[in-house]
Structure 1
Amino acid sequence: MDWLERSARLRQWSRGGTRAPHKPLLFLYALGRFQEDADGELRYSAVEEELARLLAEYGPPHRTTPAYPFHHLVSDGVWEVRSERGPGSPGSGVRDLRESGAAGRLAPDLRAALRREPALLGRIARILLDLHFPPSLHGDLCEAVGLEPEPVGGGRPSDVRRQRSRRMRELVLTAYEYRCAFCGYDGRIGAVPVGLEAAHVRWWAFDGPDTVDNGLCLCSLHHKLFDKGVLGIGDGHRILVSQRFIGHSSAAHDHVTALAGRPLLGPQPGIRPVAAAHRAWHTGQVFHGTPRPAPACDGSATGGRVRGPSVPGQWSE
């Protein structure tokens, strides 16, 4: 059985680019727990709260329950559920899973395959990360579930990934004149930019094209906050800041909350700005909650710029 192919083709509800990472998140969590205890089971009532936190942080903006993937992942052949009523899931409802003492774990054949070939676990994890989350979140997500995925190049099915454009980073950074579109940060060491990244607005994992009108030049901090749904792009290409973001320090104010309502910096004249369809996808599928109102003083007198973070640069989506 080809576990890589099966992992790449989890059945998920999908319509018009809607994110539904519930099964991949449970699968990643189960792989992490398998590393800790290959024979252990995950009792739903014991892991429900932790799974709910994962869904809240890495799932879509609308609220959901971990009962959904706990029940439905069984149909993909990688997961099994047992309860006091016997083999099989007792239902998809929270009450069904709690009251029946339901517990799940990786399917027997998959557990056997992982014991025979330990490197398979990392390759499965890499596929799940690549297909459902942007690279800027991979490290945090692996840490959250206790995983260390296989390095890039570790045995993916040949048709799992589209070919990325090698020029995307150069084109996007040039379009935005090598400065963060949110804060204006433009740090360099000599001629080499540091802490600047090319971000996909509509994630590459969800058919976001490698085009300038789907890209933003962002500093490392704002890239991470953009992919976490703290920041977004609204009408008139103005910055959205989620009301769910809480930060009381002056740094949190200057680097995040004060951005609400400011116009993006760039792109330079003659280059298409972020397309409305990509902005709408990000707002609907990534941005969390309701946008904060723009502050009375939005920093327009200084071009809407604040000092950006000085952190190492890299290319990711």
Structure 2
Amino acid sequence: MDWVERTAQLRQWTRNGTRAPHKPLLFLYALSRFQQDADDELRYSAVEEDLRGLLAEYGPGNRTTPAYPFHHLVSDGVWEVRTERGPGSPGTGVRELRATGAAGRLTPELRAALRREPSLLGRMARVLLDLNFPPSLHGELCEAVGLELEQAEIALLSAARRQRDRRMREMVLTAYEYQCAFCGYDGRIGAVPVGLEAAHVRWWAFDGPDDVENGLCLCSLHHKLFDKGVLGLGEDRGEGHRILVSQSFVGRSTAAREHVITLAGRPLIGPQPGVRPVAAAHRSWHTSQVFHGSPRTTTTA
């Protein structure tokens, strides 16, 4: 059985690019717990808060319950659930999962495969990350679930999968004249830009193209905050895009205020003349699928 392929084909609810990373987040969490204790079961009542936190931080803005993936991941053949009454999940109800002492873990076949081939865990985790999250979040997401990946465990994805365009970074940085579109940062060491990255507005994992109309040149800080949904783009109403800052973001320090909060309502530093700005469809996807909550009202410095 090709467990990597099965991992890549998790059945997820999707429509028009809607994000539904509930199963991948639970799967990553389960792989991490297997790595720590291969025979450990995950009692729903004990891991509910961990899973709820992961969904809140790395899922879309709409709220959901961790009971949903705990029950539905069974259908993908990688996860099993039992209760005090025996094998089988009692359903997606939180009360039922708690009351019946529901516990889940990877299937016996998958656990056996992971014991035979330890590098399999890293390959499966890499597929889950690549298919559901942008690269800027991979490292911290592994830390969040407690997953330790060695570089040697990370295999290249199948050549049949869509390949990234390696020219994307240079095209986007050139279009924005090597400065952060949010704050104007343009640091270099000699002729080499440092701390500047090409951000996908619509994530590559969700069919975001590798082109300038789907890219922003951002400093490392603002790239991470953009991918976490702290920052976003307002509609272009004839005067260019304006920066959105989520009301959910809290920062009391001078640095947090200067580098994040005071960006609210500021005009985006657009690309050079002759280059098309971020396409409305990509901006709309980011607003609905990544940006958290409502935007702050415009602030004055």
Cα deviation per residue 1:62-85 (whole Å; 9 max; x = unaligned)?
Answer: 111100000000000000000012
**Aligned partners of 1:42 and 1:104 also within 8 Å:** yes
**Aligned partners of 2:122 and 2:154 also within 8 Å:** no
Give yes or no for the alignment of 1:154 onto 2:158: no
In the TM superposition, structure 1's runs of 4+ consecutive aligned residues that sit over 4 Å from their partners are none
SS in 2 for 1:235: coil
What is the match of residue 91 of structure 1? Answer: 91
Q: 1:265 aligns with which of 263, 269, 279?
A: 269
> Quick one: structure 1 residues 150 and 17, their matched pair in 2 at CA, closer, same or farther if it must change by over 3 Å?
farther
**Aligned partners of 1:123 and 1:154 also within 8 Å:** yes
**Aligned partners of 1:179 and 1:196 also within 8 Å:** yes
What is the match of residue 185 of structure 1? Answer: 185
Give yes or no for the alignment of 1:293 onto 2:294: no
**Aligned partners of 2:122 and 2:150 also within 8 Å:** yes
**Aligned partners of 1:5 and 1:157 also within 8 Å:** no
TM-score by length of 2: 0.97
Give the Å deviation of 1:155.
Answer: 5.1
1:203-214 matches, within 5 Å, as 203-214=203-214
Q: 2:120 and 2:293 mapped to 1: Cα distance?
A: 37
**Aligned partners of 2:83 and 2:90 also within 8 Å:** yes
SS in 2 for 1:29: helix
List runs of 5+ in structure 1 lacking aligned partners: 299-317
1:11-22 matches, within 5 Å, as 11-22=11-22
**Aligned partners of 2:60 and 2:289 also within 8 Å:** yes
TM-score by length of 1: 0.92
Give yes or no for the alignment of 1:280 onto 2:281: no
Q: 1:189 and 1:108 mapped to 2: Cα distance?
A: 53
SS in 2 for 1:240: strand
What is the match of residue 142 of structure 1? Answer: 142
SS in 1 for 2:244: strand
**Aligned partners of 1:4 and 1:156 also within 8 Å:** no
Q: 1:36 and 1:211 mapped to 2: Cα distance?
A: 41
Q: 1:268 and 1:280 mapped to 2: Cα distance?
A: 22
Cα deviation per residue 1:127-152 (whole Å; 9 max; x = unaligned)?
Answer: 00000000000000000111123538
**Aligned partners of 1:213 and 1:272 also within 8 Å:** yes
SS in 2 for 1:105: strand
Cα deviation per residue 1:265-294 (whole Å; 9 max; x = unaligned)?
Answer: 121111000000000000000000000001
Q: 1:249 aligns with which of 249, 253, 268?
A: 253
Aligned-partner residue type, residue 49 of structure 2: E
Could you say what the CA RMSD is over the residues aligned between the two structures, in angstroms? 1.0
What is the match of residue 215 of structure 1? Answer: 215
What is the match of residue 314 of structure 1? Answer: none
Aligned-partner residue type, residue 141 of structure 1: L
Aligned-partner residue type, residue 278 of structure 1: H
Cα deviation per residue 1:81-138 (whole Å; 9 max; x = unaligned)?
Answer: 0001210101111111010000000011000000000010000000000000000000
**Aligned partners of 1:25 and 1:54 also within 8 Å:** yes
Q: 1:4 and 1:122 mapped to 2: Cα distance?
A: 10
Q: 1:71 and 1:78 mapped to 2: Cα distance?
A: 12
> Quick one: structure 1 residues 121 and 46, their matched pair in 2 at CA, closer, same or farther if it must change by over 3 Å?
same
Give the Å deviation of 1:258.
Answer: 0.1
Give the Å deviation of 1:183.
Answer: 0.2
Q: 1:27 and 1:62 mapped to 2: Cα distance?
A: 20
**Aligned partners of 1:82 and 1:103 also within 8 Å:** yes
Q: 2:90 and 2:156 mapped to 1: Cα distance?
A: 36
Q: 2:33 and 2:262 mapped to 1: Cα distance?
A: 40
Q: 1:181 and 1:22 mapped to 2: Cα distance?
A: 31
SS in 1 for 2:105: strand
What is the match of residue 194 of structure 1? Answer: 194
SS in 2 for 1:288: coil
Cα deviation per residue 1:173-210 (whole Å; 9 max; x = unaligned)?
Answer: 00000000000000000000000000000000000000
Aligned-partner residue type, residue 235 of structure 1: E
List runs of 5+ in structure 2 lacking aligned partners: none
Aligned-partner residue type, residue 252 of structure 2: H
**Aligned partners of 1:123 and 1:150 also within 8 Å:** no
Aligned-partner residue type, residue 157 of structure 2: R
Give yes or no for the alignment of 1:238 onto 2:239: no
